[in-house]
Structure 1
Amino acid sequence: MKRPSPLPLQPPKNPKQLKPTPSPPPTLQPQSQPQTFHHYGPWNSHSRLHPTLAFIESYHSTLDSLCTSHYTSPSHYTSPYFFSPLATYHDTKGAVHFTGPAIWSWLIGQCAPFESVRHEVVDVRVVREEGGMGGRDVVYGETMAHFVLRGEEEGVCVPRFFVWTVVDVEAGGGVDGVGNGVGEGVDGVENGGIGTNGKVFESIKVFWDTGVIGRFVTERKRRREGEVLERREREEQDRREREEEGRRERERVERVRVRREGEMERVRQVVDRTRRVSVGALCREERGRIEGDRTVGEVR
């Protein structure tokens, strides 16, 4: 038995009515993620593997050295080579400071009330932003700042959070066209070979509770006033004790004087009595001798 032949395909009556088959959506290419570098704890050989963290460590070491009463080198005061000439600094009170030299002068003024300042790193994370003119690293850092006010031995520890934006600068040309490579500052001035390793701050943001130091100063003032009051009370108590001791000493001396006068009076009485007894005995003896001589004369 023969199979029936298949029916021939008939072309559509109106080709315009055919809907085109939708093409699949284009495949999205994965975008490159920014490179990150994470570091815990104080600066060490691991953090120095990243040039940006080594640069920030050098910056904080220099800044902390300015906040010491024994700091003598003037070079760091005149060469704000860590900052781009057009850098910005956002302090925690909302004020914005512009240009590298102005920021550096302001930072030096912030160090004036302190005997020493030391920043201890807790956690930092570097996020590398590719593209644009040169490389840019945004660093998020949590630190513990140890402040010691001038004239104080006790310090205060305050958490501080930073957002550093660090840009790469080609050696020999800065962001404004002046030299700031290794061994030169961002203003083209030699800085003793310290250099910035081709990096400068584009911006810095800092967040922390400045009231901690204010409360510490208030507590210190209250404690000192209490110490002054306590010292005055102690001095007054010592004065009263000295007066009481002097009064007891005067009474003791008076008792000794009275006792000695009584003893001297008794001695005088004994001496007088002894003298009278001795004189009476001598008189009686002399009288007896005279009487004896008279009797002998009469017998003769």
Structure 2
Amino acid sequence: MEKIGNLDLNKTHLGDCMELSKELPDDSVDLVVTSPPYADTVSYGHEVEVFNPENYVDWFLQLFHEAYRFLKPAGSFILNINDRATNGERSTYVFELVYRIAKETRLKLFDRYIWFKKSALPMPGDKRLNDRIEYIFHFVKDTKKFKTNTDRVREPYKEISLRRFKNKVHGNDIINSDGTTELSQRGSSKPHPLGKKPITVFRFDTGSALRGLKHPAPFHPQLPEFFIKWLTDEKDIVLDPFMGGGTTGVVALKLNRKYLGFDINPEYIKMTEERIKGEFPDKGLNDFLKR
């Protein structure tokens, strides 16, 4: 089996990601995409003392210091993370973490994105509005050298957008073939043949795609899929240091990438192995790994 340092590729390894990440060679990983545990009440099968807002940031910064070392020069780190409101007050640990990553490690904050969840549990009480967003932060080693391929993630144009391209523009108005007018959008004079560039808000459903996973906070497959397509090439190495239910590994294999996972919970290691076997029957997976 192919290895990265002493760690087998296309496998989730049992252990603390803060320690396992130290075994990764310098400049060896193309992309990290992960969704870590919350800093308060989520139990991931083991009692981990540091998962509370008071020392979560100090604990998590260890991984980002290592990430600068093990990421390739063209690599990216995608962090999907969220906070919570407790005792009537919204926690600020996410913003403290992002600030300290940017100031205390050599990773650069390239951008931030929003995951808008089409369905989510309603917030209790009348004062707080329903919370349907999570944060996604994009860190890189070098803002000029990191790898992207936007053509792989372009989206179909809406009909109204194609009409804007097709019809004549006069000032700020579109003159339609029937003589009516409508407000125009400034920008390109013709559509891109592969579709429009995505915006920084992602709309992934949290329901049907995740049914059956015995995990308190399963990763939506479209999230790692988007970033793996955008930020890596085939055969590149994708790391999820909080592998959980195995979604990142499954998506990476489907996209012909190699994956590496870490998790501290043996139940989730077993879950990941079962998912991989279900998605890739033994013969198919073995053939895939030899390609």
Of structures 1 and 2, the one scoring higher in RCO (CA 8 A, sep 6+) is: 2
TM-score (norm 2): 0.19
TM-score (norm 1): 0.18
Higher helix proportion (structure 1 or 2): 1
